[in-house]
Amino acid sequence: MSAFMSAFASLVGSLADLLQPFFQTASTAAAIILFTALVRLAVHPLSRAAARGQKARTKLQPQIAALREKHAKNPERMQKALMELHAAEKVSPFSGCLPSLLQMPAFFLLYHLFSSGSIGGTPNSLLSHDLLGAPLGERWHDALAHGGLFGQAGFVYLGLFAAVAAVATFNYGRTKRQMAANPMTPAAGPDGQPVPGMGAMTKVMPLMSFLTLFSVAVVPLAAALYLVTSTTWTAIERAYLYRDTSAAEAVVAPATRGAGSSA
């Protein structure tokens, strides 16, 4: 693990060196943002596939309902028929989970890298790097302890909180507009069964983006940059991929967000 972390630290350092002429002392922060964008770009084909899969599953709902009615007294036969239907239509009920799962290691690598005092037995030099005076290895409570809410580091966090709040407000407004334009019908899962609590989830889900504010406050600043960048990417990506999808379908579709969070 230490060798792997050393290699990852070298990668971040190399990206920072590449960007140093453009971003000067903020080059490491810029490298983290670039790394996040590269991760999201790498999983974007899976996000597109997940969106196509969700639309395909929506079109299958009438056939799924017919199978449920036909095999209502034989659950095993119904499950087999549903699997055969998904296989015939080349639709995976679980494809939407992959983008989120593949992003998690990147987030935890950054979290671990900027939470460790040493890497491979040597001091972690990346902890000395900062963004506009806010150390990348410290958290919001450190910023509050050194300068307060409106100190140099505090202002960096206020900027991140403002960015997350703007993205969350965008997500909330977009979902509300979708709901108004597309009155929802009861949503169903891959087995055709109504999703338990979907009505409540549809109302609460737009507000979940605001929970990223809490995540940004408690993780190292480097990991917070990953969350903010990934959350912003997710909002733009989902607005495009699900632009012709009703609010209910978009909520059922697993969010392709950055680990931790954020929609």
pLDDT tens string 24-51: 999 999 999 999 999 999 999 888 887 8
Higher confidence at residue 69 or residue 38? 38
pLDDT band at 161 (very low <50, low <70, confident <90, very high): very high
- Does 199 score more than 70 pLDDT? no
Higher confidence at residue 144 or residue 85? 144
Mean of pLDDT over the chain: 80
Q: Which residues of 210-221 are buried (b: 16+ CB within 10 A; e: fewer)?
A: bebeebbbebbb
Higher confidence at residue 258 or residue 27? 27
pLDDT band at 215 (very low <50, low <70, confident <90, very high): very high
Q: What is the pLDDT of residue 124?
A: 92
CA separation, residue 108 to residues 164, 194, 223, 263 (Å): 20, 34, 8, 18
pLDDT band at 258 (very low <50, low <70, confident <90, very high): very low
- CA dist 23 and 54 (Å) reads 40
Angle at CA 191, nearest 5°, toward 190 and 194?
Answer: 90
Residue 149 is encoded by which pair of tokens? Answer: 């809410």
- Does 159 score more than 80 pLDDT? yes
pTM of the shown model: 0.78
Q: What is the pLDDT of residue 52?
A: 78
- CA dist 83 and 222 (Å) reads 43
Radius of gyration for the alpha carbons in the chain, expressed in angstroms and rounded: 22
Could you tell me if residue 119 is left (phi over 0), alpha (psi between -120 and 50 degrees) or otherwise beta?
beta
- CA dist 199 and 248 (Å) reads 9
CB distance 49 to 237 below 8 Å: no
Chain centroid, CA 62 distance in Å: 31
Higher confidence at residue 24 or residue 203? 24
